[in-house]
Amino acid sequence: MEATLATNRNQTNSTFHTSQPFTNTLQSELTKFRSVKSSFWSLIVANGVTIVLSAIICEAVVNRWNKRSLSERILFDPTTRSLTGIVLAQLAIGVLGVLLISAEYSSGTIRATFAATPNRTKVLTAKAVVFAVITYITCLISVLIAFGVGQAIFTQVGVGASIGQPGVLRVILMSALYLTIGGLFALGLGTLVRHTAGGITAFVVMMLVLPGIVGALPSPWSSDIGRYLPNAAGLAMTSVIKQHAGGDMLGPLGGLAVFCGWAALALVVGGTRLVTRDA
Amino acid sequence: MIEVRNLSKSFGSTKAVDNMSFEVSPGTVTGFLGPNGAGKSTTMRVIMGLDHPDSGQALIFGKPYSKIANPLHQVGALLDARAFHGGRSAYNHLLFLAQANGIPARRVDEVLETVGLSSVAKKRAGTFSMGMGQRLGIAAALLGNPEILLFDEPINGLDPEGILWVRNLLKSLASEGRTVFVSSHLMSEMAQTADYVVVVGRGRLIDSAPISQFISKSAQRYVVVRSPAIDTLEGLLKQSGADVAQGPDNTLEVTNATCAQVGELAGANSIVLHELYFHEPTLESAYMELTQDDVEFHAKSSNDMTFPADKRN
Ligand SMILES: Nc1ncnc2c1ncn2[C@@H]1O[C@H](COP(=O)(O)OP(=O)(O)OP(=O)(O)O)[C@@H](O)[C@H]1O
Ligand SMILES: [Mg+2]
């Protein structure tokens, strides 16, 4: 054992770097991500829900098609309708986003992490990049599958969209982005709160409870405020027809900007706390 | 080389570290001793850049930890034996640390081998016993082949073989010229391992000295003598000018006299002795004397203990 320590000493000392390359931090965070089961299962659930729940809802739409009025049929958006499962899938992605950081605190791994990489902003950035890329790629695949399945179901009633139609590809790309940005929002909240249960609660409150509370306000406040809430802004990115609920929603780019703003706010405030507080 | 300079750190109203200054030199094992809550772990976390001090600083080779790029090449630490994700394998835990500092993956296998965890490397670390967790923490500390090593209570939960292994590891690391800073509550263990001690109590530095010098500060040096004629002997010793205190079990503790003097006095008066030896101070006795006033959490001594039933008397 002494021999092991001694022989390698000079070798490792000669590999001193003057800076710590970001690619090393990325690689390290990727290893962390893929080496726990919670990442795998959260992605399975999120992508499974995107495909299966969306298909179930498409079936329900087809079954009730005859009861729809003409104007409802004209306004029907087969693209967005075939991707409804993402709203629930967002919860699984959100849980994963919170866990990525909260599990480091609950297990104590965070101290090992920061001992290896004292630049905490670099750690959080690498975490966000790894998480965002993996989430976006996997979710894009499941969104594409859900779209294909949904359109196949809709052909029963003679409606349907194809990727070539205006806005459709955008909605598909944006739907995967909705899940990704929501995940980053959750990562930011988790960094701020540092506890798994607290982080998940904060995420659910921001995404699902707050819209209910704001919706109960007298109009026009309910819609004036409501459209800027994270989930409403995020979902605004994902509809082909803007005038969904009486023009309440932001446009797709506005929605993207506002939803990104929420995620950025959570990450910056969480990141500041990460840097200034004790690990 | 670790330098702690006028370091202070509070948690709310608790002064965990109070204007502490000391140095830890290369080539030695330096024991970090102090009662529960004395601020040892906090000091180590500050040295590692994990906790931010209120004032003062901790430097490694003259730099704060946060200014070291790829710090695992210079500093390795075991701070908390359970500081790993239970669902992640030991191998992957070490791998992500290695990758963060550009350490080749084969080094992970090497340190796993060194600490004897190779056979369970791919198992979930959550299934590890306390001692195995401790070994994983030590493996992480050795990963970057650092010049400076910090261990917070490394022998907690280890079996006797593991304790011996850690003792030899610490000594061999120091003999290679590395700086080894290790906290422990086990004085007998530290007495065998450490060359220097840094003793703290209630967040303050009590002493920082070579271990022999620290022990020599203890007043616990006296001649112990046991005899059936203890009262006669006590009178004679007092007459001859020695300081005598009664010890347990027919013994006297004699200061101001050597074993030879006590033995000759007894012989001259035909007093039978059953035992006669010089009581050397130990690290433990020196530690107890010096930290007595600084122990925050005193347990009741067993003599003070009363059971509810006794209260009727
Ligand atoms: N994160 C924290 N938040 C609040 N108080 C803390 C924190 N860490 C330590 N303390 C307090 O600071 C004091 C010093 O604690 P520390 O853990 O450094 O002592 P220690 O010498 O390592 O004790 P032990 O020998 O029991 O491990 C204690 O009173 C402890 O309660
Ligand atoms: Mg401690």
The arithmetic mean of pLDDT across residues A44-72, rounded, is 94
Question: Containing H/E element for A135?
Answer: helix A120-154
Q: In whole angstroms, what is the distance from residue A271 CA to residue B15 CA?
A: 27
Q: In whole angstroms, what is the distance from residue B1 CA to residue A60 CA?
A: 71
**In the numeric block, which tokens belong to residue B283?**
């690290």
The arithmetic mean of pLDDT across residues A15-33, rounded, is 87
Question: With contact defined as beta carbons under 8 Å apart, do B78 and B141 qualify?
Answer: yes
- B140 at the A interface (CB within 8 A)? yes
Residue with the smallest CA separation from ligand 1 atom 2 is: B11
Residue with tokens 């979902």: A235
Q: Which residues on B lie below 8 Å from A35 (Cβ)?
A: 88-89, 92-93, 95-96
Distance A199 CA to ligand 2 centre (A): 29
Q: Widest CA span of chain B, in angstroms?
A: 77
Q: State the CB neighbour count (10 A cutoff) for residue B16.
A: 23
Question: With contact defined as beta carbons under 8 Å apart, do B279 and B223 qualify?
Answer: yes
Q: Which residues on A lie below 8 Å from B145 (Cβ)?
A: 5, 8-9, 11-13
Residue with tokens 């390290």: A28
Residue at A264: amino acid letter: A
CA-wise closest residue to A8 among B111, B115, B149? B111
Residue with tokens 């191998």: B91
Residue to substitute from A272, A274, A276, A278, interface B, most B β-carbons within 10 A: A278
> Across all residues in chain A, what is the average pLDDT?
90
Residue of B73, B96, B145 lying closest to A5 (CB–CB): B145
Q: Which CATH fold topology does B222-279 show?
A: Alpha-Beta Plaits (3.30.70)
User: So what's the pLDDT on residue A247?
Assistant: 56
Percentage of chain B lying above the pLDDT 70 cut: 94
User: So what's the pLDDT on residue A1?
Assistant: 41
Render pLDDT for A94-144 as a digit per residue (tens, 0 to 9).
Answer: 999 999 999 999 999 999 999 999 999 999 999 999 999 999 999 999 999
Percentage of chain A lying above the pLDDT 90 cut: 75
The arithmetic mean of pLDDT across residues B183-189, rounded, is 90
Using DSSP's 3-state secondary structure scheme, residue A237 falls into coil
Confidence of residue B296 (pLDDT cuts 50, 70, 90): low
- B12 at the A interface (CB within 8 A)? no
> Across all residues in chain B, what is the average pLDDT?
91
User: So what's the pLDDT on residue A242?
Assistant: 57
Nearest CA in chain B to A19: B69
- B117 at the A interface (CB within 8 A)? no
Residue to substitute from A11, A20, A31, interface B, most B β-carbons within 10 A: A31
Nearest CA in chain A to B90: A35
**In the numeric block, which tokens belong to residue B42?**
């906090």
Question: Residues of A numbered 40-99 whose beta carbons fall under 8 angstroms of chain B's beta carbons: which are they?
Answer: none
Residues in the ligand 1 pocket, defined by CB under 6 Å: B 11, 14, 16, 34, 36-42
- B206 at the A interface (CB within 8 A)? no
User: So what's the pLDDT on residue B217?
Assistant: 82
Exposure string for B288-305, b = 16+ CB within 10 A, e = fewer:
eebbeebbeeeeeeeeee
User: So what's the pLDDT on residue A228?
Assistant: 94
User: So what's the pLDDT on residue A2?
Assistant: 42
A116 and B97: CB-CB below 8 Å?
yes
Ligand 1 binding pocket mutation candidate from B7, B15, B41, B198 (most atoms within 8 A of CB):
B41
Question: Residues of A numbered 94-113 whose beta carbons fall under 8 angstroms of chain B's beta carbons: which are they?
Answer: 103-104, 107-109, 111-113
Residue to substitute from B42, B45, B101, B134, interface A, most A β-carbons within 10 A: B101
pLDDT higher than 90, residue B186: no
User: So what's the pLDDT on residue A248?
Assistant: 72
Question: Containing H/E element for A145?
Answer: helix A120-154
Domain with CATH 3.40.50.300 in chain B: 2-216
> Is the complex ipTM more than 0.85?
yes
Render pLDDT for B253-273 as a digit per residue (tens, 0 to 9).
Answer: 999 889 999 999 999 999 999
Q: Which residues on A lie below 8 Å from B176 (Cβ)?
A: 2, 5-6, 9
> DSSP letter string over chain B?
-EEEEEEEEEETTEEEEEEEEEEE-TTSEEEEE--TTSSHHHHHHHHTTSSPPSEEEEEETTB-GGG-SSGGGTEEEE--TT-S-TTSBHHHHHHHHHHHTT--THHHHHHHHHHT-GGGTTSBGGG--HHHHHHHHHHHHHTT--SEEEEESTTTT--HHHHHHHHHHHHHHHHTT-EEEEE-S-HHHHHHH-SEEEEEETTEEEEEEEHHHHHHT-S--EEEEE-TTHHHHHHHHHHTT-EEEEETTTEEEEES--HHHHHHHHHHTT---SEEEEE---HHHHHHHHHGGG-SSPPPPGGG---GGGGG-
CA distances from A201 to A66, A95, A164, A183 (A): 40, 10, 40, 14
Nearest CA in chain A to B51: A278
Using DSSP's 3-state secondary structure scheme, residue A88 falls into helix
Question: Residues of B numbered 71-90 whose beta carbons fall under 8 angstroms of chain A's beta carbons: which are they?
Answer: 71-73, 75, 77, 79-80, 82-89
B48 and A115: CB-CB below 8 Å?
yes
Confidence of residue B138 (pLDDT cuts 50, 70, 90): very high
The arithmetic mean of pLDDT across residues A259-278, rounded, is 97
Question: With contact defined as beta carbons under 8 Å apart, do B206 and B287 qualify?
Answer: no
B145 and A20: CB-CB below 8 Å?
no
Domain B2-216 matching CATH 3.40.50.300: the answer reads yes
Question: With contact defined as beta carbons under 8 Å apart, do B25 and B47 qualify?
Answer: no
- Which protein residues have a CB closer than 5 Å to ligand 2 (ion)? B 41
Q: Give the atom of ligand 1 at the shortest distance from the alpha carbon of B45.
A: 18
Q: Facing residues of B253 across strands?
A: B224, B245
Query: Which ligand approaches the C-alpha of residue B36 most closely?
Result: 1
- A118 at the B interface (CB within 8 A)? yes
Residue with the smallest CA separation from ligand 1 atom 1 is: B11
Residue of B45, B71, B103 lying closest to A118 (CB–CB): B71
